């Protein structure tokens, strides 16, 4: 007897995967085929997701995922998830009670939503109910896209609930334990609290894209390029030197992401303890591609004081011979929802413990019911049409041969398109790395300029001390700075000692200060003071002209009134503007 096979498609925010499962006679679930495709679009723009998904599905179909009926999984970021408590009533009235309670918590009227629910806990008086909804525009547009590719959706499952099924199938011991499963996706993270009585789900808007956005903001590149840089660095595809400034930028953002994730987990655990009267998780499992961030398990284990392990949903699944061994290490981080859906679809093991929510529109469900009967209708029509038409059979055979030839040509075309797409992706990755390197160089060039000139300030001050303090004597400085005129700008920019702006100007050293005019004969006559002042001015100018940093004195100015007070207090104000030598960096 030919085994029954089911195709399950996980429609993630950043990638789409299609898996073909079968069940052996002993009930073992077998993964026979899997194909994955990264979605190429700007992840920060949600409106582009559906078209990118359609392109990804088309590539999967071209690589051998058969057309026909398929179970689809919608990402948690598209769904509205609420947990409510409702009175326990007979099953026929249960949906009405849930609808009444749910209406109070949904942001939209229930009539404008496609929704379904699961009872997750029942104490005999009240029931804890998990309800998940999606906007009809999303579900209907989704169905239209996949229908056009020859894939017939028989179910639209909610990803949020499927990790529960995968954990049940994995045979991990959970009796009497409180377990937390953290599934980190591209746009959101699903927190699944499992206890002996049921489970609780919380979806938070924090995922791998959050880290990408912070990297993009830090290095000043687009979201798409930042995503390529992030993947290249954290996956180890590109080697970075340990002293490369880029490493510090990426690691700093990674640490911030870990801290935010830990804070959200702590907040969720507090809420869970309040609802469960003090109970808290005793261990944590991580899954999802976002959990591959280096150091994340250790960080969460330290902050939460709990054992943190990666969850392998494939531990109770048999891997078929057609699965490429090279992608096996990646599959546990991508297929937890898929395995959860597969064990429910095939009713593997304890079927009563599995949960699922179907968000397929009602008109699509009716269409699927008719479609299941189409072969009987087609057979009856064929019997009636066979009577007088032997020529039609030959024509149909020729048409069938032409269609096969056309399919072969289309297959070759898709293969070439995939090769071109791969080359374009590689080119984009190299361009992103080049842009990133230029951005880092721009960031560190001011530091190099400041570093190269830092020692010259010490030499300049020492030279000035020898020339105008020791030789000229009785001189003090009020201001010392470098005046720079940026090329192409008429406005001068001042840079005092210690300021680290990175400019390439014409540099002028400005000195403002005062010197004392001392009369050795204590006559203090105006004529004598004027002569002494002139001599001091000449001596100071000659001293500054001997400075190693001075190329030319552009301007000198002296005042004996106002800022100077020669005849009262015997001091003169001076102002020098000195052009600096080109090889002297300050």
Please give the pLDDT value at position 492.
52
Domain termination site, one of 387, 405, 429: 387
Q: Are residues 552 and 496 in the same domain?
A: yes
Residue 104 lies in a domain: no
Count of residues for the chain?
A: 586
- Work out the pLDDT band at 265, boundaries 50, 70, 90: very high
Residue 106 lies in a domain: no
Q: Are residues 154 and 249 in the same domain?
A: no
Q: Are residues 196 and 157 in the same domain?
A: no
Please give the pLDDT value at position 542.
85
Task: Evaluate whether 191 touches 201 at the Cβ level (below 8 Å).
Answer: yes
Domain termination site, one of 337, 366, 387: 387
Please give the pLDDT value at position 286.
93
Q: Are residues 164 and 25 in the same domain?
A: yes
The crossing angle, in degrees rounded to 10, of helices 49-62 and 136-148 is 30
- E strands, 123-268, where? 126-134, 151-158, 179-184, 189-195, 198-204
Q: Are residues 265 and 342 in the same domain?
A: no
Percentage of the chain surpassing pLDDT 90? 13
- Work out the pLDDT band at 507, boundaries 50, 70, 90: confident
Structure tokens at 147: 């229908």
Q: Are residues 199 and 179 in the same domain?
A: yes
Residue 429 lies in a domain: no
* pLDDT > 50? residue 61: yes
Q: Are residues 365 and 493 in the same domain?
A: no
Please give the pLDDT value at position 184.
92
Q: Are residues 141 and 36 in the same domain?
A: yes
Please give the average per-residue pLDDT across 566-585, as a whole number: 80
Domain termination site, one of 279, 311, 343: 311
Task: Evaluate whether 335 touches 29 at the Cβ level (below 8 Å).
Answer: no
Q: Are residues 492 and 516 in the same domain?
A: yes
- Pick the more confident residue, 185 or 524: 185
Q: What is the mean pLDDT of the chain?
A: 81
Residue 467 lies in a domain: yes
Please give the pLDDT value at position 90.
84
Please give the pLDDT value at position 89.
85
Q: Are residues 26 and 158 in the same domain?
A: yes
Please give the pLDDT value at position 238.
73
Report the number of distinct structural domains present in the chain: 3
Residue 361 lies in a domain: yes
Close Cβ partners of 221 (under 8 Å, ≥ 6 residues apart): 229, 432, 435, 436, 439
* Residue 19, domain CATH: 3.30.420.40
Please give the pLDDT value at position 496.
53
Residue 103 lies in a domain: no
pLDDT tens column, 396-444: 777 888 888 888 888 888 888 888 878 887 888 888 888 888 888 887 7
The phi-psi region of residue 94 (left if phi > 0; otherwise alpha if psi is between -120 and 50; otherwise beta) is alpha
Q: Are residues 458 and 506 in the same domain?
A: yes
SS3 label, residue 109: coil
Residue numbers of the domain that contains 564: 451-580
Please give the average per-residue pLDDT across 479-487, as a whole number: 75
Please give the pLDDT value at position 462.
83
- Work out the pLDDT band at 25, boundaries 50, 70, 90: confident
- Pick the more confident residue, 381 or 521: 521
Percentage of the chain surpassing pLDDT 70? 84
Q: Are residues 8 and 154 in the same domain?
A: yes
The crossing angle, in degrees rounded to 10, of helices 374-385 and 362-372 is 40
Please give the pLDDT value at position 348.
67
Residue 417 lies in a domain: no
Please give the pLDDT value at position 523.
60
- The secondary structure of the chain in percent helix, strand, coil, rounded to multiples of 5, reads 45, 25, 25
Residue 401 lies in a domain: no
């Amino acid at each position: 007897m030919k085994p029954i096979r089911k195709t399950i498609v996980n429609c993630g925010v950043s990638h789409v995967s299609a898996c073909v499962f079968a069940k052996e006679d002993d009930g073992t679930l077998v993964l026979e085929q899997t194909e994955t495709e990264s979605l190429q679009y700007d992840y920060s723009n949600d409106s582009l997701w559906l078209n990118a998904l359609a392109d990804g599905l088309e590539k999967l179909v071209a690589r051998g995922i058969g057309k026909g009926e398929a179970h689809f999984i919608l990402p948690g970021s598209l769904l509205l998830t609420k947990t409510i408590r409702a009175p326990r009533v007979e099953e026929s009235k249960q949906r009405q009670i849930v609808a009444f309670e749910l209406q109070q918590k949904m942001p939209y009227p229930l009539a404008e939503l496609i929704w379904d629910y699961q009872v997750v806990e029942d104490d005999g008086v009240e029931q804890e109910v998990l309800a998940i909804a999606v906007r009809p525009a999303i579900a209907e547009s989704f169905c239209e896209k996949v229908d056009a590719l020859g894939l017939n959706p028989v179910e639209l499952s909610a990803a949020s609930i499927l990790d529960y099924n995968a954990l049940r199938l994995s045979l991990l011991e959970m009796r009497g334990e409180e377990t937390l499963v953290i599934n980190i996706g591209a746009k959101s993270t699903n927190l699944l609290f499992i206890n002996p009585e049921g489970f609780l789900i919380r979806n938070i808007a924090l995922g791998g894209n959050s880290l990408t956005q912070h990297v993009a903001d830090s290095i000043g590149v687009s979201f798409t390029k930042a995503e390529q840089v992030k993947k290249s660095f954290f996956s180890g595809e590109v080697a970075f030197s340990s002293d490369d400034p880029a490493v510090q930028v990426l690691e700093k953002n990674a640490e911030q992401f870990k801290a935010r994730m830990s804070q959200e987990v702590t907040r969720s655990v507090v809420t869970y303890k309040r609802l469960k009267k003090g109970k808290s998780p005793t261990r944590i499992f991580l899954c999802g591609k976002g959990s591959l961030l280096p150091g994340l398990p250790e960080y969460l284990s330290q902050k939460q004081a709990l054992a943190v392990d990666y969850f392998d949903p494939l531990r109770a699944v048999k891997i078929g011979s057609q699965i490429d061994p090279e992608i096996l290490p990646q599959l546990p981080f991508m297929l937890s929802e898929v395995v959860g859906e597969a064990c429910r679809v095939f009713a593997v093991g304890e079927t009563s413990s599995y949960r699922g929510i179907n968000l397929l529109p009602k008109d699509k469900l009716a269409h699927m019911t008719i479609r299941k009967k189409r072969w009987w209708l087609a057979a009856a029509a064929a019997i009636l049409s066979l009577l007088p038409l032997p020529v039609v059979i030959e024509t149909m055979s020729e048409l069938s041969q032409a269609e096969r030839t056309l399919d072969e040509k289309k297959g070759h075309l898709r293969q070439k398109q995939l090769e071109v797409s791969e080359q374009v992706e590689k080119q984009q990755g190299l361009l992103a790395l080049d842009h990133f390197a230029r951005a880092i160089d721009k960031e560190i060039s001011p530091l190099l300029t400041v570093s190269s000139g830092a020692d010259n300030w010490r030499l300049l001050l020492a030279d000035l001390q020898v020339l105008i303090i020791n030789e000229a004597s009785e001189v003090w400085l009020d201001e010392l700075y470098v005046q720079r005129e940026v090329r192409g700008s008429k406005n001068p920019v001042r840079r005092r000692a210690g300021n680290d702006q990175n400019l390439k100007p014409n540099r002028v050293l400005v000195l403002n200060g005062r010197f004392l005019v001392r009369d050795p004969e204590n006559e203090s006559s105006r004529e004598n003071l004027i002569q002494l002042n002139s001599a001091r001015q000449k001596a100071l100018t000659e001293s500054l002209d001997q400075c190693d940093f001075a190329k030319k004195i552009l301007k000198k100015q002296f005042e004996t009134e106002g800022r100077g007070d020669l005849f009262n207090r015997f001091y003169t104000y001076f102002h020098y503007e000195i052009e600096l030598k080109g090889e002297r960096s300050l």
